Chain A
């Protein structure tokens, strides 16, 4: 058969069209008769396309950073640090300074640290020593008899709260971006010291997981365990009391008692369901304080499959250069000793140091893939300055307004109808080609968006509009070119062939240019810009197929039916 090539072209087009139609309008369940009704098709279409916040709405979450907790922790830490610095300081003759107890107040909006000095004459020396070690720049300092008092003024409190909220904002932003929430909006809400952050996100599959991820507290510490070195087994205690007894009854600035749940699923940072694992009874270990390195030194963290394979996951992490240096020095000096990987105040694993380690580490603990992923993500994004609480949660409609979207859709359909009518009027029979190509272009572009799981937002629709505009342009370019060739006196088959070939050069140049710039937009841009770039790239790639391949196939059919065509309807 002489038309084999034509049949192959047609088969390709029909196959792609059917797949496209199914992807866009087809159900993702076993088809029922309702799927073929108008309502059913509309419902399937709505279910298949992910629409963004501006077009469909989503969750609206108001959260608050517990900034007073942040100030309290800051006060506590500064109190300890100041006390230690003062006790370690020596006077000119090399004698330790006589420093009494330190105390702090942190409630009702008052944050004060008091440090008692035995000899008031030594106050300047103590202050000197403390200032070298502790940052009190935001604090108001005063002396009261033998005591040095640092307190936070209302202004400083507001400033620190604002900073803490900013910090939390950035961490949350990186977490939701890393998690892949499509085009969320994140805003500060309320006064700058209110600690409020507003997150709106389009309908995500598992909002609870995102919520937990956002507020996840992942505090990683690597610390030395107080224990005889390897090959002795690590020193553990069956109860907390026993552990405390070994260090004199209570925790001190240099010793802490932590639970050690050997090989246990973590449920602290994520809401992932705890699988029923073979649990050993929780034991306790004593670790040295402060930790050698903590999560702030992390450079990267990732979930990896455990050595046992299967569903056992671990988290591997690496340090920044400063952390690696610290860790390397310490491990070098402590070969044979036991080290604890502490996550959220719980010892995840205890291992003896075989050799000097610089920048790599692992947290094992029988995580699931989900919990390991989420944990790695929260570790990588850094620790939140304070706990986050959700204050308000509601489901909201589209931010562009439901009725304005309806208006926009009607107007766009009206515009498209005008285009179609014009093409049919101006290009007659060939206009049908253009309309078929355009329709197919739109279906396939939306199908491609569905395949890639993209979320369609208004910028995405702008990309779609430009794509359709360039598709119309491709048709016009081809048809005008064919007309030119016809006017020059070429026969119909030659004119069609020449028209396509010459217009194709133009079309490929315009398309590649725009695709190049869109790829750059996609790589360097974020949120709305990415959305625009994705739909445009897909639309243009598909247009090369529809406007050139499909349209030409239709012309070829016409020619095959009537090889001696004298007059083309164009």
Chain B
């Protein structure tokens, strides 16, 4: 038998202050980033929203002969500063390609392309579309000349492409889809809360759900600080993170519950620590394997999936971390609050650095029981 992580006795809960300080630090960084960016004139937005969310310009380019591959096009667009274009081939017209790019920054004060709009933003929309066209033209010029103006591709011998259509498009994921995604997730979390409360205890339910919020907020903080692009795939990634985080919390809670049933001696504090340690090999193997797969996706999954895989990468790490650092301490802390001062005896000496053994011996009859 090949074993890792046996007989580990790490005092995870004793380090909770460090963990929580770390989490607060990252969240403050995220908060500073979102607020700071919003109030910096001329700066970027709080989040780098992709064309799915804020609309942009769609351009149809027609190429003479064979058209460049999607990757070449993406590379050329990168060089002119378009981080995440949507490139769609046109199956029935193989020499044409649809390129969608997000609103070009700094042209106007973020015109809302659709669905609302009035005369004032109409001009802005046209300016936007033209700015988008110019950007794509700069990128495509790296492949050769455009057949300008009224000329067709056939007329001009040295031209290799022509932009045959320019239009501004509204968001795919409009405000409606966004609010719906948020409300659906919140309702889902309520379901989780109720089920864990039913199977375990309210305190555990609160711990797990707060940990989920923690994970999602932290991932968003990363996205704001590093200005990774948020597109529709990121929503999928966030849903995945929620599932992963809850799964991880329940595995440890389940062990705590089991240990509480057989072990009538130790404090909840110690039992939780033991449970984390006993499931540590599982935690490391599962999270490690998932992390490995996601890392493969980050490294080799290509440009388009970058946001998706980065969100998963950060989320998997955080989901594992938050179970130990957030969910368990909150569950214990709350049980502590619910109980009386006697339970505090268990925690206080620990904070002073005394040995747990003595305190746990004192707490034989004082241990808070969950179920």
Contacts and interface: CB of A to CB of B under 8 A. Distances in A.
A399 interface: yes
Interface string A16-53: 00000000000000000000000000000000000000
Interface in A403-422: 403-404, 406-408, 410-412, 414-416, 418-419, 422
B282 interface: yes
Given A397-B90, A476-B286, A529 B293 contact: no
B80 interface: no
A395 B169 contact: no
B113 interface: yes
A512 B189 CA distance: 13
A344 to B, nearest CB: 28
Interface string B51-86: 000010010000000000111001000000000001
A320 interface: no
A514 interface: yes
Interface stretch (B146-154, B296-304, B326-334, B345-353): B296-304
Contacts of A186: 172
Contact of B289 (A398, A419, A487): A419
A527 interface: yes
A402 interface: yes
Contact of B122 (A165, A191, A458): A191
B243 A517 contact: yes
Contact of B303 (A394, A404, A502, A520): A404
A349 interface: no
Contact of A401 (B87, B125, B181, B239): B87
A104 interface: no
A50 B17 CA distance: 49
Contact of B250 (A169, A486, A513): A513
B184 A57 contact: no
Contacts of B296: 411-412, 414-415, 418
A459 interface: yes
A196 B167 contact: yes
Nearest to A522: B184
A366 to B, nearest CB: 38
A165 B122 CA distance: 14
Contact of A169 (B115, B189, B312): B115
A506 interface: yes
A529 B235 contact: yes
Contacts of A463: 236, 239-240
B281 interface: yes
A425 B288 CA distance: 14
B243 A459 contact: no
Given A477-B251, A506-B251, A513-B250, A403 B71 contact: yes
Contacts of A309: none
Given A158-B122, A394-B93, A459-B233, A190 B168 contact: yes
A520 B246 CA distance: 15
A512 B195 CA distance: 8
Chain B binding surface, main DSSP class:
helix
A458 B91 contact: no
A458 B306 CA distance: 13
A536 interface: yes
A505 interface: yes
A411 B299 contact: yes
A472 interface: yes
A518 interface: yes
Given A466-B240, A509-B250, A415 B297 contact: yes
Chain A binding surface, main DSSP class:
helix
A189 B167 contact: yes
B354 interface: no
A556 interface: no
B212 to A, nearest CB: 10
B239 A516 contact: no
A480 B303 CA distance: 37
Interface string A183-194: 001111111110
B192 A191 contact: no
Contacts of A516: 188, 191-192, 195
A93 interface: no
B159 to A, nearest CB: 22
B118 A155 contact: yes
A469 B88 contact: no
Interface in A328-380: none
B180 A399 contact: no
B119 A394 contact: no
A407 B70 CA distance: 12
B155 interface: no
A396 B293 contact: no
A219 B12 CA distance: 69
A193 B285 contact: no
B115 A472 contact: no
Nearest to A425: B2
Contacts of A476: 282, 285-286, 289
Given A187-B171, A466-B243, A521-B185, A505 B254 contact: yes
Given A407-B300, A418-B292, A521 B184 contact: yes
Given A415-B297, A516-B192, A526-B177, A394 B3 contact: no
Contact of A407 (B190, B278, B295, B302): B302
A459 B235 CA distance: 8
B251 A510 contact: yes
Contacts of A557: none
A536 B243 contact: yes
A292 interface: no
B181 A529 contact: yes
B326 to A, nearest CB: 17
Contact of A525 (B3, B121, B125, B181): B181
B305 A518 contact: no
A187 B126 CA distance: 17
Contacts of A412: 293, 296-297, 301
Given A403-B302, A486-B1, A517-B246, A191 B235 contact: no
A432 to B, nearest CB: 15
A466 B254 CA distance: 20
A158 B187 contact: no
B297 to A, nearest CB: 5
A250 to B, nearest CB: 41
B188 A513 contact: no
Interface in A453-500: 458-459, 461-463, 465-466, 469-470, 472-473, 476-477, 480, 483-484, 486-487
B183 interface: yes
A255 interface: no
Contact of A408 (B87, B91, B116, B297): B297
B258 interface: yes
Closest 7 CB pairs of A and B: A415-B293, A407-B302, A188-B114, A192-B117, A397-B89, A459-B236, A517-B188
Given A403-B302, A418-B289, 8 more contacts: A159-B119, A192-B115, A459-B232, A516-B195, A517-B243, A521-B185, A521-B187, A536-B243
22 contacts: A162-B117, A188-B115, A188-B169, A191-B168, A196-B167, A198-B169, A395-B90, A400-B305, A403-B302, A407-B305, A408-B304, A408-B305, A411-B296, A419-B293, A425-B2, A428-B2, A458-B233, A462-B312, A465-B293, A466-B243, A480-B279, A529-B181
